[in-house]
Amino acid sequence: MEQEDSCIIRLFSNYCALSEEDKRLLHRLEESPIETRAGQVLWEECDKASEFCTISKGWAYSFRNMDDGSRQILELFMPGDIVGMREFAFSQRLTGLAMIDDGVICHFPHHRLMDVFRTSTTLTAVLFAIVSRHQALLTERLVNLARRSAQQRLAHFIYEIYERLNQTGAPSDGHFRLPLSQEQIGDALGLSSVHVSRTFTSFRKQHLVLRERHRMHLPNPQALAELADFDSRYLNDSLKPIFCDNGKQERQNGSSNVTTE
Amino acid sequence: MEQEDSCIIRLFSNYCALSEEDKRLLHRLEESPIETRAGQVLWEECDKASEFCTISKGWAYSFRNMDDGSRQILELFMPGDIVGMREFAFSQRLTGLAMIDDGVICHFPHHRLMDVFRTSTTLTAVLFAIVSRHQALLTERLVNLARRSAQQRLAHFIYEIYERLNQTGAPSDGHFRLPLSQEQIGDALGLSSVHVSRTFTSFRKQHLVLRERHRMHLPNPQALAELADFDSRYLNDSLKPIFCDNGKQERQNGSSNVTTE
DNA sequence: CGCAGTATTGAAAAATATCAAGAGGGGTGG
DNA sequence: CCACCCCTCTTGATATTTTTCAATACTGCG
């Protein structure tokens, strides 16, 4: 219980109580950390894919460069996230990965995951839960891009980040850092940077979002969430206790049960 | 080797040679098949989630109803697909599921998956591979919706289906059935049904896609793929042999290796 | 001080949605 | 077999949203 510094372990612990053996296994996924610089591209779209990585410090994003020169940012990763699961079944990367901040990441090869499958049913289940949650994020982003106006998209994007940050513990009465340029935000939302700027201006006039360089302030998060038609189930509901095997198995009888409700 | 009728087993076999024991385990996921009718809603967005299901016959789609009355179709499922993984970590459904065709589906509870984790590392890895491939599809759809014109979106959508159908074996010189109305296609692509109609008309004039009710004909699939900026890696590359444990393990030494190249 | 990246604002253009009217097709009941 | 109706599709006119282009301002930094 002493090496709780690891964000991976903290992340996994959200889903299930871990045995010491499990923790030891997880620690192996964080061997050989590497310092990275802001803007550094960790891999390009067609690179060979035989590794995952975990992000220990800093933010990163996955992206795709389009034929017409534009770019789509697909996912935003924060400390504790596991990156590269998408390519488990693939030999090549399907998206690039770049650091936003300076940070620290740890690579580990695909077959290390096989060790986990072989050794710990608990960790396997938690991994599945993490992938499942990740897919929920992707789905929500898809809905956001396909069906909402520019205002709603931006509101949703900002509010999602705000919520994710709150979940990691840092309670921030509406203030937080968002180290993305308006162009990058546009790349994430499928909007031109010009329109992102206009939308921010509009939000400022409505007193919904105040942005000063990379510092954000939400005077009224509730209102922003409503504008975005934000349904937070996809972020919150996933922290329910998962079926765990280690020792106490009594949780497995009732079907699914929620933590707080 | 005699019960190869099961599409689940066929699907899994794409990734890895299966032991008889594995096949038996898989068969348990297809117990108690249920007949379903076209249009039938298998679950709604907020239903309790404690089951997956496999689709044995027919097509289905997942959807999300928006506040403004519109609807987003997220994924298209075909025989052999496993549905509902997204909610493994959740207590509620995040999207609805509806049948397009008459069909046959099989439910199985989440904890049945735990049996798989406990019993077969091979199947666990294949499951991961399937989820990974599924995530690749989602990602591609996201890029499609965020970054492409209506023409490209529709072209990409149609060509993806064409490719997926080809992969399941039915080689169809450009002819296939697409049992979706133009309104449903619009719901999938974030376009109005009117605009889908216009785009189809334009395709007909360009001799790219001929659609007659639910029958599609692609006189020149190549051209369509080019228009869509279609990169088929996300569909094809995933069939590489995955690290398998059963018996012959020699595949695990080299890092990742591709089947055909 | 000047420079490069970033943000703002206006005007015009392009893409897509909405509204509305009509056409075709297939099933059902008389 | 016909009439009718519902559903899907098509097409035109107009409205809205977002993009693009261009000019200018801001900011931190060497």
Distance of CA A136 to the CA centre of its chain: 11
Tens of pLDDT, residues B91-145:
999 999 999 989 999 998 888 889 899 999 999 999 999 999 999 999 999 999 9
* Separation of B193 CA and C20 C1' (Å): 15
Residues of A in contact with B87 (CB under 8 A): 132, 136
- Name all protein residues with C-beta less than 7 A from any atom of nucleic acid chain D: A 149-151, 190-192, 194-195, 198, 213; B 181-183, 193-194, 197-198, 200-201, 211, 213
* Separation of B193 CA and D9 C1' (Å): 9
Q: pLDDT higher for A225 or B29?
A: A225
A1-141: CATH number: 2.60.120.10
pLDDT band at A254 (very low <50, low <70, confident <90, very high): very low
DSSP one-letter code for A19: -
Residue A47: predicted pLDDT: 93
Query: By percentage, how much of chain B surpasses pLDDT 70?
Result: 89
Q: pLDDT higher for B7 or A204?
A: A204
What's chain B's average pLDDT?
A: 87
Let me know how many helices (H) and strands (E) chain B has, helices first.
Answer: 9, 11
Q: B160 to chain A nearest CA, in Å?
A: 16
Distance of CA B100 to the CA centre of its chain: 13
Residues of A in contact with B91 (CB under 8 A): 237, 240, 256-258
Question: Has residue B79 got a pLDDT over 70?
Answer: yes
Question: Has residue A249 got a pLDDT over 60?
Answer: no
Is A219 an interface residue toward B (CB < 8 Å)? no
Question: Has residue B249 got a pLDDT over 80?
Answer: no
Q: pLDDT higher for B240 or B95?
A: B95
**Residue tagged 């998962």 (tokens):** A242
Tens of pLDDT, residues A80-94:
899 999 999 899 999
| Minimum Cα–Cα distance from B45: chain A residue | A233
Domain range list for chain B: 1-141, 149-228
| Minimum Cα–Cα distance from B14: chain A residue | A89
Question: Has residue A4 got a pLDDT over 60?
Answer: no
Q: What is the mean pLDDT of residues A198-213?
A: 95
Residues of B in contact with A145 (CB under 8 A): 142, 145-146, 190
Residue B80: predicted pLDDT: 87
What's chain A's average pLDDT?
A: 87
- Residue ranges of alpha helices (H) inside chain A are 7-13, 20-28, 110-119, 121-147, 150-167, 182-189, 193-205, 221-227, 233-236
Residues of B in contact with A146 (CB under 8 A): 72, 145, 189-190
Q: What angle do CA B93, B99, B100 make, to 5 degrees?
A: 135
Question: Has residue A256 got a pLDDT over 90?
Answer: no
Least confident of A63-77, B11-25, B172-186, B215-229: B11-25
β-bridge partners, A168: none
Q: What is the mean pLDDT of residues B190-198?
A: 97
- A195: the nucleotide nearest its CA (via C1') is D18
Taking an 8 Å cut-off on Cβ atoms, the answer to whether A86 and B139 are in contact is yes
A149 touches strand C (CB under 7 A): no
Whole-number Cα distances in Å, A200 to A66, A109, A146, A164, A204: 26, 41, 20, 21, 6
Interstrand relation of A41-43 and A96-99 (parallel, antiparallel or unpaired): antiparallel
Residue A242: predicted pLDDT: 60
Residue A260: predicted pLDDT: 36
Task: Quickly name the fold that domain A149-228 has.
Answer: Arc Repressor Mutant, subunit A (1.10.10)
Residue A29: predicted pLDDT: 80
B positions 220-259 inside 8 Å of A (CB): 229, 233-234, 237-238, 240, 242-243, 245, 252, 255-258
Amino acid found at B173: D
Residue A111: predicted pLDDT: 84
Q: pLDDT higher for A134 or A30?
A: A134
Tens of pLDDT, residues B157-187:
999 999 999 987 776 789 999 999 999 999 9
Q: Rg of chain B's alpha carbons, rounded to an integer?
A: 19
